[in-house]
Amino acid sequence: MTKSIFIASAEPYTGKSVIALGLVNMLLGRAQKITYFKPLVSLAPGEQADSHIETMLSHFQLPQSYADAWVFSRQEAMQFVKEQKQGKMLDTIISRFKMLESASDFTVVEGSDFGGQATAFEFDMNRLIARNLNVPVVLLVSGEDKTTADIIQDAINFWQAYDLQDIQVLAVIANRVQAGQAEDVRQLLAAQLPASVLAAVIPADRALENPTIGDIFERLGGSLLFGGEQLSNSVDHFVTGAMQVPHFLNYLKDNVLIVTPGDRGDIIISSLQANLSSSYPRVAGIVLTAGTVPEAPVMRLIEGLQNIVPIMAVPTGTFETTNQIAGIRTRIKPGHTKKIQLAIDTFNRYIDHDALDKKIVMYHSNAMTPHMFQYQLTQWARREKKTIVLPEGNDDRILQAAARLVAQDLVKLILLGDPAAIAASVKRLGVDLDLGRIAVVDPVHAPEYEDYVQTLYELRKNKNVTLEMARDLMTDVSYFGTMMVYKQHADGMVSGAVHTTQHTIRPALQFIKTRPGISTVSSIFFMCLADRVAVFGDCAVNPNPTAEELAEIAISSADNGRRFGIEPRVAMLSYSSGSSGAGEDVEKVRRATQLVRERRPDIQVEGPIQYDAAVDPVVGRQKLPGSEVAGQASVLIFPDLNTGNNTYKAVQRETGALAIGPMLQGLNKPVNDLSRGCTVDDIFNTVMITAIQSQD
């Protein structure tokens, strides 16, 4: 069984970090403990640490120190070879690798970066290390500025160099290939490589390859005058502002960096105005050259503006500055969250996970870790793409989550709101959301509006709802979105980022209603703890459920836990364990536990039981010896909303656990509520859960 994999590139600037980030992310969805190892590092001038190692360790919070992730610098390795001490160098590398491998489920090893002149040395050294570690490899070649024939030839030569050394090659990936070449390269590569080797192609992506404003500022130096909060802006183009304004404006393109002397107030002001105008592309930033800054009146004007793009002043002249910018290569660093996520999304989109899985003998863990759970959500959602309506289309968090969902191709989305306002918000936020890939619907002007009004009237007229009342209610995005689900124009709805829980679920209770045999709508949270995922219910809907309602909540929670890959062991929580306590509240839980056992003998359930006895094996054995649930509960049912809501929030805040939900259960069709304090991650995860629910 292999517990490791080696990523090797054939040349500089192959985009190896995309593969490393994507591979670790994929593996964390399958194995509990992943480590990362880069035997040789090449530090740039002035660098104290390898930024890629720091990125991998910090983003994925891998359980290892920076010192354990590398062994030698490139210069040290060359010295070992020069002094004919190569064996000693390899022994040290192997020893460090084995230490990491023995302490983890899987280790991702990354070859060197080809950071110097002697690229042949690094090519041979990577191959030597892979062979001595006895790990299979993924090979990476660049398609940048190459013909299709050149890409294929480089890839085949690279594969042969490893195959001749009896090193098992799992995959050959051509990265940064022009979109027009991608399909030809993929077919030719697959035809010329053995069937046992996965062939993959990743098209060039400006958003990944182009530098950010922060990269440029770091390289150019100088001083930052404005816009420090927007240093993550991507720079796709740059233009020199040395002409008259009308002519200059014709050269603006999306995410453009403007390079101009600091005394060109006309260029600076027109650039800032163009960024605010819906008629011109977004400006990424401005570089003022020749050591000059705008005159005081211009500076005062800029200071009074909002959402100012980054403006930096550098001492070099315009010509020298533009040459420096043209030579900047982007590097993914720990703070580049958007670029890291884009790299992972790119890997997921173009690398066949199932095919790669078959070539990697994977360590399997019975534990459902948080990363495994989130990885599984994306896989399940992608399996059968559903249409989810988001009524709060004007909320910034909704748009940011929508961009991620669309980029990963997980669901089909409908946003409710004014299309022009949503388009303006997308531009203001700078999110990469292709509005052509989603539906944006303004309820009042929608073709379905009159039909929805009539349907609502027919459904609710026996509850004294008049046609005028139905017309008014259908202007409400919660009613409109819920009606889309009822009419099967959408498969599910997620709301609550702006609206209250009651506002979100009232329409669903009125006309979507509950499933047959279920009388209680309840909720669960998926609590992603440090080493496991637990189900908490009900923490959002029922203030004081009866014993019958509590039993129904427990059964629904157990079934949904199993549906999402969590083996249900149900703890009916109370302030007493077993038969030790008495009182009305304890008796309610005891009665609910008995009802679960009668109605669903297949469910492992224990109650009443205290929280510590439910989750701590030592306490569980002491308080309820012989129980199948005590100490290992995975589904925790709280006796009332006060207890459940406070407990989930306490666990979330005190442990740093990720709480995914609430997910409503019991409705005929999935409608899920968000907290008004929700994050982009919360929305992203809840939409995926809703899509998975709608697959049933």
CA–CA gap between residue 344 and residue 17 (Å, rounded):
10
CA–CA gap between residue 379 and residue 382 (Å, rounded):
5
Q: Exposure pattern of 188-227 as b/e (b: 16+ CB <10 Å)?
A: bbeeebeeebbbbbbbbbebbbbbbbbbbbeebebeebbb
The most distant pair of C-alpha atoms in the chain lies apart, rounded to whole Å, by 92
CA angle, corner 35, sides to 401 and 7, nearest 5? 85
User: What per-residue confidence (pLDDT) applies to 45?
Assistant: 56
CA–CA gap between residue 389 and residue 414 (Å, rounded):
5
pTM of the model: 0.72
User: What per-residue confidence (pLDDT) applies to 365?
Assistant: 45
Give the CATH number, domain containing residue 15. Answer: 3.40.50.300
Q: Give the pairing type, strands 658-665 and 522-528.
A: antiparallel
How is 351-396 classified by DSSP, letter by letter?
S-HHHHHHHS-----SS--HHHHHHHHHHHHHHS--EEEES-TT-H
Q: Is residue 365 part of a domain?
A: no
The total number of structural domains in the chain stands at 4
Mean pLDDT of 505-509: 90
Q: Are residues 353 and 381 in the same domain?
A: no
> Which residues are CB-contacts of 269 (< 8 A; sequence separation ≥ 6)?
298, 301, 302
Domain containing 623: what range? 522-666
* pLDDT tier, 47 (very low <50, low <70, confident <90, very high otherwise): low
> Which residues are CB-contacts of 597 (< 8 A; sequence separation ≥ 6)?
603, 605
Give the CATH number, domain containing residue 629. Answer: 3.40.50.10750
Q: Are residues 351 and 411 in the same domain?
A: no
How is 39-100 classified by DSSP, letter by letter?
SEE-PPTT-SS-HHHHHHHHHHT-SS-TGGG--EEHHHHHHHHHTT-HHHHHHHHHHHHHHH
Quick one: what percent of the chain has pLDDT higher than 90?
Answer: 56
Contact 123, 140 (CB under 8 A): no
Q: Are residues 321 and 434 in the same domain?
A: no
Q: Are residues 119 and 261 in the same domain?
A: no
User: What per-residue confidence (pLDDT) applies to 518?
Assistant: 85
More confident position, 390 or 30: 390
User: What count of other Cβ atoms lies within 10 Å of the Cβ of residue 296?
Assistant: 8
Q: Are residues 397 and 503 in the same domain?
A: yes
Mean pLDDT of 409-432: 91
What would the two tokens of residue 149 be? 């024939």
The DSSP 8-state label assigned to residue 226 in this structure reads E
User: What per-residue confidence (pLDDT) applies to 363?
Assistant: 36
* pLDDT tier, 487 (very low <50, low <70, confident <90, very high otherwise): very high
Q: Is residue 611 part of a domain?
A: yes
Q: Are residues 306 and 432 in the same domain?
A: no
Q: Is residue 678 part of a domain?
A: no
DSSP β-bridge partners for residue 609: 573
Mean pLDDT of 71-92: 87
CA–CA gap between residue 571 and residue 639 (Å, rounded):
11
What would the two tokens of residue 619 be? 């306490």
Q: Which amino acid is it at 262?
A: G
Q: Are residues 198 and 103 in the same domain?
A: yes
Q: Are residues 229 and 88 in the same domain?
A: no
User: What per-residue confidence (pLDDT) applies to 42?
Assistant: 82
Q: In the listed set 477, 512, 547, which residue is the last one of a domain according to the structure?
A: 512
Helix (H) or strand (E) run with residue 424 in it: helix 419-429
Mean pLDDT of 222-229: 90
Give the CATH number, domain containing residue 457. Answer: 3.40.50.10950
* pLDDT tier, 107 (very low <50, low <70, confident <90, very high otherwise): very high
Which of 47-61, 357-371, 564-578, 652-666 shows the lowest mean pLDDT across its residues? 357-371
- Each residue of 87-101: pLDDT tens digit? 888 888 988 998 898
Q: Are residues 595 and 503 in the same domain?
A: no
Give the CATH number, domain containing residue 264. Answer: 3.40.1390.20
Q: Is residue 126 part of a domain?
A: yes
- Each residue of 4-13: pLDDT tens digit? 999 999 888 8
Mean pLDDT of 222-242: 88
Q: Is residue 639 part of a domain?
A: yes
Nearest alpha-carbon partner for 252 in 279, 225, 218: 279
Q: Is residue 86 part of a domain?
A: yes
Contact 442, 480 (CB under 8 A): no
Query: Residue 333 half-sphere exposure, CB side, CA atoms within 13 Å?
Result: 15
User: What per-residue confidence (pLDDT) applies to 367?
Assistant: 58
Q: Is residue 602 part of a domain?
A: yes
Mean pLDDT of 559-567: 90
- Each residue of 268-283: pLDDT tens digit? 999 999 998 889 999 9
CA–CA gap between residue 161 and residue 167 (Å, rounded):
9
Distance of CA 463 to the CA centre of its chain: 44
Contact 189, 199 (CB under 8 A): yes
Nearest alpha-carbon partner for 541 in 533, 554, 529, 553: 553
User: What per-residue confidence (pLDDT) applies to 149?
Assistant: 95
- Each residue of 160-204: pLDDT tens digit? 999 888 888 999 999 999 999 999 999 999 999 999 899 999 999
Q: Are residues 485 and 536 in the same domain?
A: no
Query: 3-state DSSP call for residue 328?
Result: coil
Check whether 444 has a pLDDT greater than 80: yes
Mean pLDDT of 602-629: 91
User: What per-residue confidence (pLDDT) applies to 236?
Assistant: 87
Q: In the listed set 454, 479, 512, which residue is the last one of a domain according to the structure?
A: 512
User: What per-residue confidence (pLDDT) applies to 88?
Assistant: 84
User: What per-residue confidence (pLDDT) applies to 396?
Assistant: 92
What would the two tokens of residue 328 be? 């900047």
What would the two tokens of residue 331 be? 């590097």
CA–CA gap between residue 109 and residue 138 (Å, rounded):
10
Mean pLDDT across the chain: 89
- Each residue of 357-414: pLDDT tens digit? 888 864 344 556 777 687 788 888 888 999 999 999 989 999 999 999 998 889 999 9
Please state the length of the chain.
696
What would the two tokens of residue 665 be? 């259960």
User: What per-residue confidence (pLDDT) applies to 366?
Assistant: 52
More confident position, 208 or 686: 686
Q: In the listed set 301, 326, 351, which residue is the last one of a domain according to the structure?
A: 326
Q: Are residues 611 and 627 in the same domain?
A: yes
Q: Are residues 38 and 126 in the same domain?
A: yes
Distance of CA 517 to the CA centre of its chain: 37
Q: Is residue 102 part of a domain?
A: yes
Mean pLDDT of 111-137: 82
Query: 3-state DSSP call for residue 190?
Result: helix
User: What per-residue confidence (pLDDT) applies to 364?
Assistant: 42
Helix (H) or strand (E) run with residue 232 in it: none
Task: Output helix, strand, coil percentages for the chain, rounded to the nearest 5.
Answer: 45, 15, 35
Check whether 46 has a pLDDT greater than 80: no
